[in-house]
Chains A and B, each alone.
Chain A
Amino acid sequence: MTNPSPVTWGAEIQLNGLTKRFGSVVAVDNVTLQIEAGEFLTLLGPSGSGKTTTMRLIAGFDVPTAGDILMDRSSIIPVPTYQRNIGMVFQNYALFPHMTVFQNIAFPLEMRRVEKDKIVSEVARVLELVQLPGYEKRYPRQLSGGQQQRIALARALVFNPRVLLMDEPLGSLDRKLREHMELEIKHIQERLHITVVYVTHDQEEALVMSDRIAVINQGKIEQVGTPQELYERPKSRFVADFVGETNLLQGEVSELGAAYSTIGLKNGARIRVMPMEGLIIGQRVSLAIRPATIRILTLGEQLANSYTGVVDEVIYVGEITKYRIDLGGGESLMVKQAGRFDPQRCCRGTSVTIGWDLVDAKVVL
């Protein structure tokens, strides 16, 4: 077997105070991040947030203005791209159009002066890995988007890099194929035990694939954590809003208690939240409530928080139905209900009671 599989083949990467300025624009602003060996880490952020620039710095396409990048504890800043041994998959695949699939995948091996026979067997091995055996003689233009994507992955993996960078690799695939590829990439990463740094603006993709996610906004890391941590305990408004759907409400702390604290909204509603350290009466805060945690209550049902409102809009999406509930005074909440569509709640203008548990409304700053 040529496939090197010690428990962890991937390398550890550290970004220390990494900064990149283009003129007066700060694309990456003092980013410090530890990426563990063999970890699948996603840089998640909106376009222009600096996630791609961070990746280009790791690949060596750009030189940082300040800070350092360490691979297994030694700086790779002085190492030119072609000696970094880092695999890279591009958004538009960047397959060489004048070369066949075989020539494309053989390219990195040729650069490493691998002998002919070995190249042939290695190309066959990675084509097997991406489930496209026998495609050696095709040209990239003869392949579908999904197939080109796999070939690009095979080419980036054939020289057994310990780190793989992926820049929005699924961006141009249709939804079904994308969901399939998400799992496939994840499985390949687990099989090869390599470190993957994955860039995307798609939070769903990030949640499905990542061991950890670093949410980036305006060149800075907002929060790093497992998908679950980010989703359930967002530290900032931005993270709460960017990862998953969220209702964001503005309010003021009006009461601090042992069992719960209370946040008063502009429309007079008072919302109970879990007691939390560091809150002061009168402090302005944001509340994040996931639409899926809000329930439309049946008659007589009581939850820690329950309010009456009017159905303002109904969006039927198949497995789920979304409702916008107008609470009056300019406040409204999105509610997501799974399961069978209930015609009794369907209509606009129907008065309903909604509610959620104490833990489901999160105070974010």
Chain B
Amino acid sequence: MSQNVVLPFRRGSSWGHIVLGLLMVLVIMLMVLPVVLVVGMSFSNSEMLAFPPRGLSLRHYRTFFEDQSWFQPALLSLKYAVLSTTVKVTLGTLASLALVRGRFRGKRIINLMLLSPMIVPPIIIAVAAYNVYVRFQLVGTTLGVVLAHTVLGIPMVVLVITATLYRFDTNLELAAMSLGANRLTTFWRITFPLIRVGIAVAATFAFIDSFNELIVTNFLVGTRSLTLPVQIYTGLRYTLSPVIASISSLMVGMSLLGLITIGILQRRQ
């Protein structure tokens, strides 16, 4: 039937589509199942990580908020995420404007360099950064961690915002200026409102990236002020406390919230 060609997902289509459907379910299961397990374990009443959970309780969530060795790192992660997101988005927006609108020599090279932290393995960046940081006494400092997170997150921010800018019709700015708006007014009244969803999406990703970053941060935080992922990693090496499951669930929840926000923002556009 020709209809099957036009609408490949109609019911009663060939074996190929059934196999494709099963494969899709399998992939989604692989992606979602671990998260479901972790969330399940976080509500357990036992002292050990186990699935299925034995008895339901919120005690591990309470432990997280009451135990300073967990809650302090969470606050620290939040601080680093807020600071580095601010820096990433500001610099990333400016860099994107230059890359999309500017005409200058070496643009491609600069573009490549801005994206390079995405290509270089994080462990390499970690080791290299550590060597530099030791010399400048940046290990364990706020400045050090925020700088590192900025470097790691810039590629994503630049990718999202340049994509937004490429879609932006510059005639709109010319029109605004011909109608009597100066450059600054044009930016705030025309350009910014039309690219702010892109910026918000980039910021959301940037925040999640920074909050969850482990590999590079692990090298650079020193020994006293640990971020939440580093604390979890350290904790996992000694005990398998269900508190870790509840913290993970909270982090998953936060990321999910971010993704939903992005979805809503993009739909409204």
Contacts and interface: CB of A to CB of B under 8 A. Distances in A.
Given A92-B169, A94-B169, A94-B171, A107 B178 contact: no
A282 B187 CA distance: 64
Contacts of A107: 176, 179, 181, 189
A88 B175 contact: yes
Nearest to B179: A108
Interface string A97-134: 11000000001100110000000000000000000000
A155 B179 contact: yes
Interface in A243-257: none
Given A92-B171, A94-B169, A111-B185, A87 B190 contact: no
Contacts of B180: 82-83, 85, 108, 111-112, 159
A86 B178 contact: yes
A80 interface: yes
Interface string A191-212: 0000000000000000000000
B236 interface: no
B177 A82 contact: yes
Contacts, number: 60
A159 B179 contact: yes
Contact of B172 (A82, A88, A96): A96
Contacts of B185: 111
A81 B193 contact: no
Contact of B175 (A80, A83, A94): A94
Give the dominant DSSP class at B's interface: helix
Interface in B141-177: 169, 171-172, 174-177
Contacts of A83: 180
A96 B188 CA distance: 13
Contacts of A84: 178
A90 B179 contact: no
A82 B182 contact: yes
B194 interface: yes
13 contacts: A82-B177, A82-B178, A84-B178, A90-B175, A94-B169, A94-B172, A94-B174, A95-B175, A97-B194, A107-B181, A107-B189, A111-B179, A111-B181
